[in-house]
Amino acid sequence: MAIVNTTVSVTTSPTLLAAADPGRRFIAFSNGSGSHIHIGGATVTTTNGMRLDNNEDHEFQQQHPNDHTPGQAWYGIASSGTQSVGVTISKEDSTT
pLDDT in tens, 33-74: 889 999 999 999 999 999 999 999 999 998 888 888 889 999
Q: Class of 2-95 per CATH?
A: mainly beta
pTM of the entire structure? Answer: 0.89
* Dihedral of alpha carbons 37, 53, 33, 27, sign: negative
> What residue ranges do the domains of the chain occupy?
2-95
